[in-house]
Amino acid sequence: MINYYPSFNHLLREFTILGGNQCGIMQGFTVPVVSSPPDPYLKSITGRMPNYHKLVLKNPTAEMQYHLSGYGMYYEEAMVKYMGESIERYSTVVSTHLAKDRIIYASYEDISKKNNAMPLEYLNIYTAEQQIQLSNLLPAIEPRHATNKDIIGWVKCYSLMNPGEEIWVPSQMIFVGFKKNAEKGEKMFVPSFSTGTASHRTIKEALFNALLEYIQIDAFIIKWYTKMPSKKVIIDGSTILHILKKIKLGDDSSYEVIPLYLTHDIEIPIFGVFLKRKDKKIPYILFGVQGDLDAYNALLRGTMESAAILSLGYYHALYDPEMYNMADYNSAYTDLDTNVLFYASPKNYEKKDNIINELIKDEINLSSLKTQGKTSDINTRIEYIIKELSKVSKYAVYLDMTPPEVSEMGWHVIRVFIPEICGMCLPGFPFGNHPRIKKFGGIKNEFPHPLP
């Protein structure tokens, strides 16, 4: 049912509440990404976020890439995604400040005596050698593993597996842009990521999307770094083939579409999609990963996410070409830009082709994949995902991270943390000591992952 017409006018009114150069939570303008024929083209919108991290961290020189964008076949879809992503990023950054009074500082030895707390094995997720290397690059991080005696900030979250149960988890793994409390003697052992954070108009939809994001990142990280083989997907659905042709990703596209089925022990359809440029020019390889209970929707979204990264490759080629050289030869891959440019660069393309080929074993038709738990009922969808997660997780938790000013606008932001599976990692520092990585054979892929 169409509730608003024209719908884009309604979205612009929504945007004026969120965006404004004086009092908005994001800057009051958007920029549509330019089409570059004959390349794939989605309607895409990007913009800028004020430097909230400088205020929260009390560091005017601190830098953070927000990676804000929205994309889709229509500008309405792109605008909705852009607003949702902006709210998510804003809430993620300011949540550290909002939750400061909820954090307690204690050793694992002390907190575990009276409370249910996450075991330290899920904090010590880097090898001893990686911990030293990471400390050299990021001095705030300790060059050793955490012990039972180390003082750590803990925040109380709510269990996903046992409703009503509370679990204490390290705040440094929950809050992005985390800054350790030196006055309390706190030690920091890992950098944090926003994996598992989602915004939506309802709490349950935000929770569902946060869970889905965590699971799709885990599937990709495991497959990429352990080189667990994946099947190449043959797209045999007429509707999805029509949509791909419409966005210039059909048979006559300038890019080859290479979808991989990444699902393994958590039965939810997850796809990683490579786009590889046929004429071996910039941007050469693009990549996106998406999951959904509907396999067709998951693959389409993964393909669109790949296509949406195309403008990033062009931008650096035009305005910062030296970054391409750094990505190829000098980067430690402690950011989520140079790894993308490493694959976008056509230099040594044979090596990059081989990286992809080594991940593929056999083929599978998209039509043969069973859609898992497909339903419009949000309660049923959440129950299905939690049931699947219960196979591998005991300490999965969630936290409502909605700032008051965002709540007043009718949005909700939920953070999910699932320590037993893998969230996003620095491309050059996969979790070599994580129990789940070790379970599937350890780190075998020496190359950085391609996700932005």
Cβ neighbours for 292, distance < 8 A, ≥ 6 positions apart: 212, 268, 269, 298, 301
User: What pLDDT, in 10s, does the model give residues 295-307?
Assistant: 999 999 999 999 9
| Enclosing H/E stretch for 113 | helix 108-114
CB atoms within 10 A of CB 74: 12
Q: Is the pLDDT score of 342 beyond 60?
A: yes
What are the φ/ψ torsions at residue 231 (nearest 5 degrees)? -90, 140
Percentage of the chain with pLDDT > 70? 98
Q: How many CA atoms lie within 13 A of 86 on its CB side?
A: 28
User: What pLDDT, in 10s, does the model give residues 304-324?
Assistant: 999 998 888 888 888 888 888
User: What pLDDT, in 10s, does the model give residues 430-443?
Assistant: 999 999 999 999 99
Does this model's pTM top 0.85? My answer is yes
Q: Which two tokens stand for residue 80?
A: 């909705």
Mean pLDDT, residues 417-429 taken together: 97
In the structure, what pLDDT confidence band is assigned to residue 56 with cuts at 50, 70 and 90? confident
154 to 101, 194, 403: CA distances (angstroms) = 11, 17, 20
In the structure, what pLDDT confidence band is assigned to residue 1 with cuts at 50, 70 and 90? low
Cβ neighbours for 6, distance < 8 A, ≥ 6 positions apart: none
Percentage of the chain with pLDDT > 90? 69
CB 48 within 8 A of CB 60: no
CB 42 within 8 A of CB 11: no
- What's the rounded Cα separation, in Å, for the pair 57 and 126? 25
- What's the rounded Cα separation, in Å, for the pair 34 and 30? 13
- What's the rounded Cα separation, in Å, for the pair 12 and 18? 10
Q: Is the pLDDT score of 2 beyond 70?
A: no
- What's the rounded Cα separation, in Å, for the pair 89 and 105? 26
pLDDT score of 100: 84
Q: Poorest-confidence range of 67-76, 98-107, 409-418?
A: 67-76
User: What pLDDT, in 10s, does the model give residues 116-153?
Assistant: 999 999 999 999 999 999 999 999 999 999 999 999 99
User: What pLDDT, in 10s, does the model give residues 242-280?
Assistant: 999 999 999 999 999 999 999 999 999 999 999 999 999
- What's the rounded Cα separation, in Å, for the pair 136 and 431? 17
In the structure, what pLDDT confidence band is assigned to residue 50 with cuts at 50, 70 and 90? confident
Of 190, 187, 239, 75, nearest to 429 by C-alpha is: 190
CB atoms within 10 A of CB 304: 23
User: What pLDDT, in 10s, does the model give residues 209-252?
Assistant: 999 999 999 999 999 999 999 999 999 989 999 999 999 999 99
Q: Which residues of 420-434 are buried (b: 16+ CB within 10 A; e: fewer)?
A: bbbbbbbbbbbbbbb
CB atoms within 10 A of CB 63: 9
- What's the rounded Cα separation, in Å, for the pair 425 and 59? 24
In the structure, what pLDDT confidence band is assigned to residue 61 with cuts at 50, 70 and 90? confident
